[in-house]
Amino acid sequence: MSTLLPLLDPLLFSVLPYVSVIVFLLMTIQRYRVRTFSYSSLSSQFLENRQHFWAVVPFHYGILAILAAHLGAFLLPGTVLAWNSEPLRLYLLEITGLVFALLSLVGLAASLWRRATVTKVRIVTTPGDWVVFAMLLLQVLTGLGIALHYGWGTSWYAGVATPYLRSILRLNPESDAIAAMPWMVRLHVINAWLLIGFVPFTRLVHVLVAPNPYFWRKPQVARWYGKANRSHP
Amino acid sequence: MDVRSQVAMVFHLDKCIGCHTCSIACKNIWTDRKGTDYMWWNNVETKPGTGFPTAWEDQEKYRGGWELKNGELQLKSTSKAQTVFNIFHNPHMPTMDDYYEPWTYDYQELFNAPPGDDQPVAKPISMVTGELIQIKSGPNWDDDLGGSPIYAANDPNLKGLSPEAQQQLFAVEELVMFYLPRICNHCLNPSCVASCPSGALYKRGEDGIVLVDQNRCRGWRACVSACPYKKVFYNWSSGKSEKCILCYPRLETGQAPACFHSCVGRIRYLGVVLYDASRIEEVSKLPEDQLVEAQRSLILDPNDPEVIAAARLNGIHDSVIESAQRSPVYQFVKVWKIALPPHIEYRTMPMLFYVPPMAPVLSQREGQHLTNVSEDLFHDIDEARIPMKFLANLFGAGVEDGVRYALRKQKAVRWYRRAITVGDVTMETAERMLREANCTPDEAEAIYRLTALCTFEERFVIPPMHREEAIEMMRDPQEHKQETGFGFLHGQRRAM
């Protein structure tokens, strides 16, 4: 065991990311090719409407904003650091992030409560869904914990997470810095990779479909034998 | 002129007996799967009544169909930008409570119950949860309850009726009801198609049947809200929307759709109409009182050489044009003008038309004598038990003229046939009625024939669907013919 332990960190922070991303890419494509039908939001609003609003709406807006913030800080760390150079702006960013994180936590908790207590909704909840819910809850909780416990994450993300993610992208993983972080941060990172790897096997594939042609297509859609789809009127 | 072909329909309400055979035929073929158990792609409603789902015609609640905003057509349910936000939670979507919770019975109980003094009972079990349920409502809960203060009184079509006219509908001596069978209208300007964020809904170019591409549907439910007739349903198990497919697999093999085929009252007619697709948008924007006539003007004369030439130019097969020339729908809607679209004010341009039903006269008994003959031979059309305004709200966007025209013509045909067969009415009177109803003896004979004596072939003029052309898209038709029936099909399995 003691001989394996030094291997654990490289495994989790340097190997797991590649396994996850490769699985994600290959299996989502494979699932789309073979089981296109399974790409659905699997909405349960039809079975229960009222609690649905308070669960689904805060969660989605919260998590989308948080994901966008993670992506933004990864792409433009300099901009974030420059923004944060004034305390007032730093506070503003931190509070905004906290609000969205709390939104997603409230939404997630409401979702879990709804899925567990409303019989009709529980019926359409699969074991896979529960795993996804548990992992999402862990991710949001650790994220919130980090934000509250290790302050000014919006700034140190640029110094720790961004270089780590970029090193992975460069196929030259440098995981020392991240592996030296407190356990909550490490858990957040490992769980994130696992979530990405799980996407193709769960209902999470629905994040990959967006109302893409809707905004630039004509209102009506017609399909013809032997002709490319054409719209009318 | 952009000529398209559409498989259109007529339901003759004067012949509907409300037996629900159509609903059962449909249910047995298409919607007895898990998740579709609550759906009735075909249902028969009692009018006045609240229908299925409850009060579906109340667009202030469900916000289906189109509305005019600053002269532009817009979905009533949502603007284009708003759609993205509605993807998470759809604000106007009906839930299972608006339909009903489907149930079955624990029949095993009948066999397994221990011996006792009482008859064993098969208890009702929810088909969603599998638990015992108290049945509180069902798909046809207001069946035959015309006059009911719970159901009939809440019919959205009563709006605009004077208090006296409403009172008349609920007086015991004057009770009246009729049946309204409903399927998807396969509209020319379908709001479900326009609302779909993923572009899964489409109209088949060749026959106008509106379908949901099951592989492309993402379960965003915009169509369920947008359809004002509530004929797109959400499959709660597979997480996809489903709807009436007009039995296209049957049509493609020359058979009438199951609900048409099984209709006991022979009220259903099906045939191709040719229409001008370039004018749909223009017509959909007209003021409400012009919509019925304007929609009729979209339908083109299939015998007009100009129309035929334009149809050929658009790739419409000669066999389809020939089929359109024999279409019973064309006769009812365009030539005789006695079939009307339901709720044209939703502006979806439905392609299912209804012949409005005749109703008993308001009886005016004087002692032992009942007088219903007056100088105005059509007086009882306006004094029928179903108020004209009620029918107009259903079939004329509130305008009575079209409904009155259709009923007068029907009555004239009846009296004309009565003059011939019974003889208690003089032919002179009958012919006067025909004239006043804008009908000729020849037309009356034709209406009589297609209403009363119609054979299968006359009711269902199914165009060749040229399936071979569709198969050519994917593979060699010859090879397909040789291999059809071999291979594996994948059922709808709920995703992980």
- What is this model's ipTM? 0.91
Please give the structure tokens belonging to residue B142.
């207001």
Q: Which residue of B has its CA nearest to A119?
A: B129
With an 8 Å Cβ cutoff, are A220 and B214 in contact?
Answer: no
- What residues have CB less than 8 Å from B420, skipping those under 6 apart? B427
Whole-angstrom Cα Rg for chain A? 21
Residues of B in contact with A38 (CB under 8 A): 493, 495-496
Q: By CA distance, what is B75's nearest residue in A?
A: A219
Q: For residue range B101-151, what is the model confidence (pLDDT) as tens digits?
A: 999 999 998 999 999 999 999 999 999 999 999 998 898 999 999 888 889
Domains plus CATH for chain B? 1-100+137-475 (3.30.70.20)
Flag whether pLDDT at B64 surpasses 50: yes
| pLDDT for the residue B371 | 57
- Interface with chain B: mutation pick from A40, A203, A224, highest number of B CBs within 10 Å: A40
Task: Tell me how close the Cα of A71 comes to any Cα of chain B, in angstroms.
Answer: 21
The DSSP 8-state label assigned to residue B345 in this structure reads G
Mark yes or no for CB contact B90/A45 under 8 Å: yes
Nearest to B203 among A119, A211, A222 (CB): A222
Would you tell me which residues 40-59 of chain A have a C-beta closer than 8 angstroms to some C-beta of chain B?
Answer: 40-49, 52-53, 56-57
**CB neighbours of B191 closer than 8 A, spacing ≥ 6?**
B64, B65, B66, B75, B76, B77, B226, B227, B228, B346, B348
Distance CA B263, CA B260 (A): 5
State the Cα–Cα distance between residues B12 and B269, nearest whole angstrom: 8
Give the residue on A whose Cα is nearest the Cα of B210.
A222
Summary mean pLDDT of chain A: 92
For domain A5-231, the CATH class is mainly alpha
Distance from CA of B46 to the nearest CA of A (A): 25
The string of DSSP letters for chain A reads -TTTHHHHHHIIIIIHHHHHHHHHHHHHHHHHHH-GGG-S----TTT--HHHHHHHHHHHHHHHHHHHHHHHHHH-HHHHHHHHTSHHHHHHHHHHHHHHHHHHHHHHHHHHHHHHH-HHHHHT--HHHHHHHHHHHHHHHHHHHHHHHS--HHHHHHHHHHHHHHHHHTT----HHHHTS-HHHHHHHHHHHHHHHHGGGSGGGGGG---TGGGTS-S-EEE-TTS--EE--
pLDDT at B486 over 90: no
Residues of B in contact with A57 (CB under 8 A): 88-89
Beta-carbon separation of A56 and B197 below 8 A: no
Q: Which amino acid is at A230?
A: R
CA distance B145 to chain A (A): 28
Average the pLDDT over B255-278 and give the result: 97
Q: Is the pLDDT of residue B238 over 70?
A: yes
Mean predicted lDDT score pLDDT of chain B: 92
B494, closest residue in chain A (CA to CA): A38
Check A40 against B234: CB less than 8 A apart.
no
CB contact A228 to B (< 8 Å): no
Query: Are A104 and A175 a contacting pair, CB within 8 Å?
Result: no
How does residue B310 score in pLDDT terms, banded at 50, 70 and 90?
Answer: very high
* Closest-approach residue (CA) in chain B for A44: B236
Distance, in Å, from the CA atom of B124 to the CA atom of B111, rounded to the nearest integer, reads 15
Q: Hey, CA dihedral for A52, A53, A58, A64, is it positive or negative?
A: positive
Q: What is the pLDDT of residue A2?
A: 59
Smallest CA–CA distance from A216 into chain B, residue: B80
How far is residue B375's CA from residue A146's CA, in Å, rounded to a whole number? 90
| Strand B201-204 relative to strand A221-223, pairing | parallel
B157, B163 Cβ separation under 8 angstroms: no
Q: Is A230 on the interface with B (CB under 8 A)?
A: yes
Q: Which residues on chain A are in Cβ contact (under 8 Å) with B240? A: 37, 40
Residue B340 backbone dihedrals phi, psi, to 5 degrees: -125, 150
Task: Answer yes or no: do B239 and A48 touch at CB < 8 A.
Answer: no
Q: Say how far apart CA A101 and CA A106 lie, in whole Å.
A: 9
**How far is the C-alpha of B287 from the C-alpha of B279, rounded, in Å?**
15
pLDDT at B492: 80
How far apart CA B240 and CA B247 sit, in angstroms, is: 19
Residue B440 backbone dihedrals phi, psi, to 5 degrees:
-110, 160
Q: Is residue A233 over pLDDT 50?
A: no
Lowest mean pLDDT segment, chosen from A68-82, A194-208, B482-496:
B482-496
Render pLDDT for B426-472 as a digit per residue (tens, 0 to 9).
999 999 999 999 999 999 999 999 999 999 999 999 999 988 888 88
Predicted pLDDT at B365: 58
- Two tokens at A27? 């299996």
Q: Which of residues 91-110 of A touch B (CB under 8 A)?
A: none
Closest approach of chain B CAs to the CA of A20, in angstroms?
A: 18
Residue B412's contacts (CB-CB under 8 Å, 6 or more residues apart) are B430, B433, B434, B436, B437, B439, B444
User: Which of A43, A48, A206 is closest, CB to CB, to B221?
Assistant: A43
Please tell me the distance from the alpha carbon of residue B26 to that of residue B43, in angstroms, as a whole number.
9
In the predicted structure, residue A228 carries a pLDDT above the cut 50:
no
Nearest CB to A220; choose among B80, B194, B224: B194
| Shortest distance, CA B492 to any CA of chain A (angstroms) | 8
Strands of B106-197 (E only): list them: 124-126, 178-182
* pLDDT for the residue numbered A232: 43
Of A37, A49, A230, the CB nearest to B215: A37
pLDDT higher than 70, residue B379 = no
Rounded to a whole number of angstroms, the distance from the CA of A80 to the nearest CA of chain B is 28
Which residues make beta-bridge pairs with A186?
A: none
- DSSP string over B271-319: EEEEEEGGGHHHHHTS-GGGHHHHHHHHEE-TT-HHHHHHHHHTT--HH
pLDDT at B364 over 80: no
Enumerate residues 6+ apart whose C-beta is below 8 A from B320. Answer: B5, B206, B272, B311, B463, B464, B466
A1, pLDDT greater than 60: no
Rounded to the nearest 5 degrees, what angle is found at the Cα of B398, between the Cα atoms of B394 and B404?
80
Q: Tokens 């073979």 appear where?
A: A34
Q: Which of B343, B300, B303, B297 is nearest to B325 (CA)?
A: B303
Closest residue in B to A58 (Cα–Cα): B88
Long-range contacts of the stretch B426-430 (C-beta < 8 A, 24+): B429/B377
End-to-end CA distance of chain B: 49
Spans of all domains in chain A: 5-231
Q: Global pTM? A: 0.93
Contacts of residue B11, Cβ cutoff 8 Å, sequence gap at least 6: B181, B267, B268, B269, B352, B353, B354, B355
Partner-chain residue, chosen from B193, B196, B495, that has the shortest CB–CB distance to A40: B495
Contact A205 B495 (CB under 8 A): yes
Name every chain B residue with its beta carbon within 8 A of the beta carbon of A40: 217-219, 238-240, 495
**H helix runs in B189-279, sequence order:** 191-195, 222-226, 248-251, 258-261
DSSP A5-46: HHHHHHIIIIIHHHHHHHHHHHHHHHHHHH-GGG-S----TT
Please name the residue of chain A whose CA is at the shortest distance from the CA of residue B99: A46
Does B89 contact A57 at a Cβ distance shorter than 8 Å?
A: yes
Mean pLDDT value across residues B193-201: 95
- Chain B CA closest to residue A121: B129
CB B250 within 8 A of CB B268: no
Q: Cα dist. A96→A83, A90, B267, B306, B372 in Å?
A: 14, 10, 63, 66, 78
Mutation for B interface: A36, A46, A206, most B CBs within 10 A: A46
